[in-house]
A and B are shown apart, each in its own frame.
Chain A
């Protein structure tokens, strides 16, 4: 990863349709395909949690 986000993610975020696909999958917490400019990226999610102030982590779709 270069800087804060990778070049692939930057490419997706610049495209409204691809960004919407990514947002949908991230909200639902689902792996899947993201299509942008004829390229297909496979999204893979894993969870890691940082919890502050003793509150419980709620990972809700």
Chain B
């Protein structure tokens, strides 16, 4: 028996938990939902715990359906110990070859069920807004919550209303000169590690950061009369997160006549 086989078997056994964690963290909506990817070491720990639970449930289910799982064979293969004189090796291999479709069916059905369960759990948490109510269910994606304004709905933030838009101001340096870029956040992307990569702004404008207005000076009556600002032409401006030095977010709400004046809600 190749020494790598127990490692391969361990991976096959851990995969349901890893799939469950991955699909739960990624969600089914892709960009429209907070994705969170932890380090492999963290995922492995969760994977072991969830795999144990999933295998227990699946084995019980198989037993209830009339299939009697042979636990000795996988344990012997996993340990790489087949008793004195490898007496259990031949029966173990025979069991697998005799029940190959059943073994494959067990793993494939468990993998599929884990993926479905992860997606359903993600949807459930988002639908019921459990991630807003408690940190236990909160996805490990700080920027998603900040840039969509969902952070305002967190219980610790008095569960306020989600804003209609987010106005971003960021300091970005070009050739040693710092500029203040401002615009409305319309989208953002994450890199393969799940970290914020770019922020997409619409109606972007900028000015030189050194053109700060003194505190004592009255602001210009309108921005058209404020020569410091320069409208960035184009539909969208994409700012790389790595190039931003300071970030400021303004949340804003748009109420319409007929809305409750005490609370200017969003559209959701």
Which A23-61 residues sit within 8 Å CB-CB of chain B?
Answer: 23-24, 26-29, 34, 39-53, 55-61
A6 touches B164 (CB 8 A): yes
Assembled-state Cα–Cα distance A39/B254 (Å): 12
A18 to B252, CA, bound (A): 15
Residue of B nearest to A40 (CB): B257
Q: Is the CB of A19 within 8 A of B267?
A: no
- Contact assessment for B266 and A44 in the assembled complex, using a CB-CB cutoff below 8 Å: no
Residue contact B255 to A44, C-beta cutoff 8 Å:
yes
Could you tell me which residues of chain B, from 217 to 268, have a CB within 8 Å of some CB in chain A? 219, 222-224, 226, 229, 244-257, 259, 264, 266-268
Judge whether A13 and B253 touch: CB under 8 Å.
Answer: no
B49 to chain A, nearest CB (A): 33
- 1/0 per residue, CB under 8 A from B, across A1-24: the answer is 111111111001100000100111
Indicate whether A56 sits within 8 Å of B246 (C-beta atoms), given known contacts A9-B165, A23-B203, A40-B256: yes
Find out whether the CB atom of B256 lies under 8 angstroms from the CB atom of A48: no
Q: How far is the CA of A48 from the CA of B186 in the complex (A)?
A: 18
CA gap between A44 and B169 in the complex, in Å:
17
Contact (A52, B264) CB under 8 Å given A9-B254, A45-B252, A61-B213: no
B256–A26 CB distance below 8 A: no
Report whether B247 and A52 are in contact in the complex, using a CB–CB cutoff of 8 Å: yes
In the assembled complex, B36 has its CB within 8 A of some CB on chain A = no
In the assembled complex, how far is the CB of residue B178 from the closest CB belonging to chain A, in whole angstroms?
10
CB distance from A16 to the nearest CB of B (A): 10
Interface residues, chain B, with chain A CB atoms under 8 Å away = 32, 146-149, 151-152, 162-165, 167, 169, 171, 180, 182, 184-188, 202-203, 205, 212-213, 219, 222-224, 226, 229, 244-257, 259, 264, 266-268
24 A-B interface contacts by CB (under 8 A): A4-B148, A4-B186, A6-B267, A7-B267, A8-B256, A9-B164, A9-B254, A23-B205, A26-B184, A26-B250, A39-B256, A40-B256, A41-B254, A41-B255, A42-B254, A44-B254, A48-B249, A48-B250, A49-B248, A51-B246, A51-B248, A57-B248, A60-B180, A60-B212
| 4 pairs of A and B residues whose beta carbons are closest in the complex | A6-B164, A55-B246, A6-B267, A61-B219
Residues of A within 8 A of B (CB): 1-9, 12-13, 19, 22-24, 26-29, 34, 39-53, 55-61
